[in-house]
């Protein structure tokens, strides 16, 4: 009788552990360290949103020890939160610990119903745990950047003012944002073909465009593959 009870208890614990590990299902297409997808899909105001971010941690990195950069082997990294999610959305990890060991395919999941619209840069702070020389334990804070969520609708002031094959030019509460063009390749021209100065400020997966010093008028943004018209008002 005791053996049967112990066996049932062990089975229950296995089922419970399995259930805890199923907060999300990673995409098996991710074969190398990194994340997938590269960009989060748009959502709609007051409509259910559900997106999984697949994660495979890197096996090594560089940390600062005693003021000097050191190459280290990663034991794991622990996600500490998601900053910047729109109201109504929350996140869960593969399991409650939010720990990601290297070369293991795991995931995070964003779910909920957005209660506001707009473009929301998402920052994912974490702590990296590693060993220098395989023995000396160190930890270092880091932040995963580059994600943002666009929620269409609501009272956000979000307006698409230009679209290319991949690029988008967005007016968001008085700011002009550029998405879908590599910042290093972006150039700005006036309608006479003259190259104009341009400042791009990182904003999640987008860039803020600064129009200081530009006269009112139409300008062309291009990365050599796509072109967007940008109307500047002084």
Residues 181 and 140 in one domain: no
Residues 136 and 168 in one domain: no
Q: Which residue, of 119, 152, 185, is where some domain finishes? A: 152
**Cα 129 to Cα 149: distance, rounded to the nearest angstrom:** 29
Percent of the chain that is helix, strand, coil (3-state, to 5): 10, 55, 35
Out of 69-83, 88-102, 136-150, 177-191, the most confident range is 88-102
Residues 75 and 141 in one domain: yes
Which residue(s) pair with 182 in the sheet?
none
Q: Is residue 8 part of a domain?
A: no
* CATH number assigned to the domain comprising residue 140: 2.60.40.10
Q: Which residue, of 128, 152, 176, is where some domain finishes? A: 152
Q: Which residue, of 152, 175, 208, is where some domain finishes? A: 152
**Cα 140 to Cα 65: distance, rounded to the nearest angstrom:** 9
What mean pLDDT value characterizes the chain?
A: 83
Q: What value does the mean pLDDT take over residues 211-215?
A: 87
Tokens describing residue 83: 């900053």
Residues 84 and 100 in one domain: yes
pLDDT bin (cut points 50, 70, 90) of residue 18 is very low
pLDDT bin (cut points 50, 70, 90) of residue 172 is confident
Residues 143 and 30 in one domain: yes
**pLDDT of residue 131 exceeding 80:** yes
| Strands 199-203 and 49-56, sheet pairing | unpaired
Q: Is residue 38 part of a domain?
A: yes
**Cα 128 to Cα 142: distance, rounded to the nearest angstrom:** 7
Tokens describing residue 106: 């795991």
**Cα 20 to Cα 146: distance, rounded to the nearest angstrom:** 28
Q: The domain containing residue 31 runs over which residues? A: 24-152
Q: What value does the mean pLDDT take over residues 25-47?
A: 93
Residues 78 and 94 in one domain: yes
**Cα 108 to Cα 91: distance, rounded to the nearest angstrom:** 7
Residues 112 and 184 in one domain: no
| Helix H or strand E encompassing 12 | helix 2-20
Q: Is residue 81 part of a domain?
A: yes
pLDDT bin (cut points 50, 70, 90) of residue 155 is low
Residues 197 and 176 in one domain: yes
Residues 31 and 135 in one domain: yes
**pLDDT of residue 5 exceeding 50:** no
Residue 189: count of CB within 10 angstroms of its CB: 15
Report phi then psi at 4, rounded to 5: -65, -40
* C-alpha pair distances (Å), 93 with each of 51, 80, 140, 152: 12, 10, 20, 26
Residues 178 and 130 in one domain: no
Quickly list DSSP for 62-109. Answer: EEEETTEEEEEEEEEEEE---BSPPTTEEEEESSTT-EE-BT-EEEEE
Residues 146 and 175 in one domain: no
**pLDDT of residue 127 exceeding 90:** yes
Out of 75-79, 142-146, 170-174, 211-215, the most confident range is 75-79
Q: Is residue 1 part of a domain?
A: no
Count of domains for the chain: 2
Q: Is residue 37 part of a domain?
A: yes
Provide the terminal-to-terminal Cα distance of the chain, rounded to the nearest Å.
83
Yes or no: say if 190 and 196 are a contact pair by the CB < 8 Å rule: yes
Q: Is the peptide bond before 192 cis (omega within 30 degrees of 0)?
A: no
Q: Is residue 204 part of a domain?
A: yes
Q: Is residue 228 part of a domain?
A: yes
**Cα 98 to Cα 94: distance, rounded to the nearest angstrom:** 7
Q: What value does the mean pLDDT take over residues 137-147?
A: 86
Residues 173 and 111 in one domain: no
């Amino acid at each position: 009788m005791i053996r049967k009870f112990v066996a049932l208890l062990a089975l229950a614990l296995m089922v419970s552990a399995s259930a805890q590990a199923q907060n999300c299902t990673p995409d098996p297409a991710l074969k190398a360290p990194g994340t997938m997808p590269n960009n989060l899909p748009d959502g709609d105001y007051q409509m259910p949103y559900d997106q999984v971010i697949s994660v495979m941690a890197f096996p090594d990195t560089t940390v600062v020890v005693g003021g000097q950069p050191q190459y280290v082997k990663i034991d794991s990294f622990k996600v500490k939160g998601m900053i910047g999610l729109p109201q109504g959305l929350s996140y869960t990890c593969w399991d409650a610990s939010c720990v990601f060991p290297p070369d293991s395919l795991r995931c995070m999941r964003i779910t909920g119903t957005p209660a506001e619209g707009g473009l929301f840069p998402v920052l994912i702070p974490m702590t990296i745990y590693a060993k220098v020389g395989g023995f000396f334990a160190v930890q270092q804070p880091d932040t995963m950047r580059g994600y943002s969520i666009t929620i269409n609708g609501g009272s956000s002031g979000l307006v698409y003012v230009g679209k290319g094959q991949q690029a988008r030019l967005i007016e968001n509460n008085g700011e002009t944002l550029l998405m879908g063009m590599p910042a290093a390749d972006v150039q700005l021209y006036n309608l006479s073909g003259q190259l104009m100065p341009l400042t791009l400020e990182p904003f999640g997966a987008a860039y803020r465009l600064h129009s200081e010093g530009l006269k009112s008028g139409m300008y062309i943004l291009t990365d050599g593959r796509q072109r967007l018209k940008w109307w500047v008002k002084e």
